[in-house]
Each structure stands twice: as C-alpha cells, then as structure tokens.
Copies of this chain bind each other. A is one copy, B any other.
Amino acid sequence: MSVDERVDLAEQLRAAGYRVTGPRRAVWEALCVADGHVTVEELSARVADIGGDADQASIYRTLAVFEELGLARQSRLHETGAASWEVAHPDEHFHLVCASCGEVDHHAGPLVTRIREHLEGDHGFEVFDIELVVTGWCARCRPGGRAG
C-alpha cells in the first residue's frame, strides 16, 4: 500500500503544480505507515522515526496540500484538542470512537452513501463531505456486552 501511494504522491503533486520535496515525502510516508489516525504531533514523531525531517509548521502546510489534493483527510475525533489525520480512502466510511479504550474503528458500509443519496435526491443539497463520528462503548468495553 505505501509503495503505491508513495509513487502516486510525486505524480499528484506535480500534476497540481506543487513541488516534490523531502518534507512532503516524509510526511506522506509517515501518514501511510501510521495505522489509522494521527495527530500532527504524532506525525511529527513518526517523521523523525523514519529518519525524515519536517518542521511542525511544514507538516501543517503539507497536510493542507494533501487535503486539497484529496490524498489526506482531517477529522475531529476528539471533543477538544488536536485534529486527526488519515490517508483518504476511496470508500466512504465513518468513525466509531470508544469512550473507554479510545479505539477508533473505521466503519465502512452503505450508510454514508445512503445519507448522500438521501440529501442529494430529496433536498437538492450537493454534498461535499460527510463527517460522521459516533461515540460510545465498543463491544469489548460495553458493560455486560460480548466481552472478548
């Protein structure tokens, strides 16, 4: 996965008139290697881990470019505080955040698409983006639930 996306990156950047730079490669690799969501601070540490170099300000700027190109996606999974970033997946999905263990589950399914169809059909609302965050207890943490 990360190799394909790394190849894509240079093409996508050039196609949009952006330059291919060390920090942009490093941020992209760190984002691809990360399993799921990362904050800018985490991303910064991961960039360092893989031997890359990118100032935090550059990470913010880089993520803004990635978002514009549709390569990365920002979420606000935590009530307050830092934004979370992930590689943009083609499938529409939403996030289940467990209030107990903190795990963020990606829930793919027809629901988000159905929301989009519903709005575009009945309401003439042209959807750019759907942000759906569900907070609760996952099956493992739920008291009396199907404990693991």
Asked if B111 and A139 make an inter-chain contact with CB atoms under 8 angstroms apart, the answer reads no
Among A5-13, A31-39, A51-59, A122-130, the one that faces the other chain is A122-130
Residues of chain B within 8 A (CB-CB) of A146 are 124
A74-B79, A133-B131, A134-B130 known; A139+B118 contact, CB < 8 A: no
Number of interface residues of A (CB under 8 A): 34
Asked if A128 and B136 make an inter-chain contact with CB atoms under 8 angstroms apart, the answer reads yes
Which label, helix, strand, loop or mixed, suits the secondary structure of the A interface?
mixed
Given B115, B128, B133, B135, which contacts A99 in the complex, CB threshold below 8 Å?
A: B128
Copies of this chain, whole number: 2
Distance between Cα atoms of A127 and B24 in the complex (Å): 38
Q: Let me know if A90 is at the binding interface, CB within 8 A.
A: no
Q: Let me know if A61 is at the binding interface, CB within 8 A.
A: no
Distance between Cα atoms of A90 and B135 in the complex (Å): 18
Which residues 48-81 of A sit at the B interface, judged by CB distance below 8 A?
74, 76, 79-80
Q: Let me know if A96 is at the binding interface, CB within 8 A.
A: yes
A79-B74, A96-B119 known; A136+B131 contact, CB < 8 A: no
Q: Smallest distance from the beta carbon of A80 to chain B beta carbons, Å?
A: 8
Residues of chain B within 8 A (CB-CB) of A128 are 99, 135-137
Q: Let me know if A17 is at the binding interface, CB within 8 A.
A: no
Q: Let me know if A138 is at the binding interface, CB within 8 A.
A: yes
Residue with the greatest number of chain B CB neighbours at <10 A, chosen from A107, A115, A118, A127: A115
